[in-house]
Chain A
């Protein structure tokens, strides 16, 4: 059985935030909740990096381990999903998650935390596929339609990739192997170089530096 995973190529992400917008629009995520967000490291500095982060659907998910009502379940394809009817909004999953993926609505009366909301890999939840209840609670179920999460499918630079872990890891490995020869990834030229031809893309190719 395939395991479905996200992978963000930080050397391609341009911090356009289109993945965030696509997720909110596709799943009609309420105001104040971001299932996906782009984190920028060394913002404004030369060499800054940005990475798109959401639920990573961990193999041994800490949110699942700490949930006092056991509202999480893992599907056979490795997606960590939850049942909002069981969730009591305690927030333990937020403290446990190293990525800050669990989100809580903030517009409830008296500041009540409300039911947890997180990325579902566009796979809905434990309601009937494509039902109104499923869409209201969890968002659209694209996986049941044979589609991948919209955030990844519409990423213009193909930085965010999603799908079968075997395939996306192979894709990323292939990208990295072609990048090794490029000066920006090997500035001191100390790494042994293969005889592969330079790819015709990137800043150095555009300015004819390589």
Chain B
């Protein structure tokens, strides 16, 4: 007689976990054609400050001969 509530509890837990497994995960990334959804490259935000440095570097590195 005492085992019956335990079985009921296990069944209830299983039911709740099964229902929970059907829920949406917020981390899922839905694919859209030709849309990049990966990590954002911080490099892109420093471009203006780098542009002059890279141009000077190009002239320095390749114009000596």
Question: What is the interface of chain A, defined by CB distance below 8 A to chain B?
Answer: 1-2, 4, 65, 69-73, 75-77, 81-83, 85-86, 123-129, 141, 143-144, 146-148, 152-153, 158, 161-164, 167-168, 171, 201
- Can you list 10 residue pairs at the A/B interface with Cβ under 8 Å? A2-B55, A70-B31, A70-B32, A85-B39, A126-B40, A127-B39, A146-B57, A152-B62, A163-B54, A164-B54
B24 proximity list for chain A (CB < 8 A): none
B2 proximity list for chain A (CB < 8 A): none
B55 proximity list for chain A (CB < 8 A): 2, 163-164, 167
3 interchain residue pairs of minimum CB distance = A163-B58, A83-B38, A146-B53
CB closest chain-A residue, reference B49: A146
Which residues of chain B in 29-65 are interfacial with respect to chain A, using CB atoms and an 8 Å cutoff? 31-44, 46-48, 50-51, 53-55, 57-59, 61-65
A-B pair count, CB < 8 Å, reads 96
* Interface size class, chain B: 20 to 34
Closest chain-A Cβ to B7's Cβ sits at a distance in Å of: 43
B51 proximity list for chain A (CB < 8 A): 1-2, 77, 164
B33 proximity list for chain A (CB < 8 A): 70
Task: Report Cα–Cα, A71/B29, bound state, in Å.
Answer: 12
A126 proximity list for chain B (CB < 8 A): 38-41
Q: Which of B42, B43, B44, B57 contacts A148 (CB 8 A)?
A: B57
CB closest chain-B residue, reference A86: B38
Task: Report Cα–Cα, A21/B7, bound state, in Å.
Answer: 66
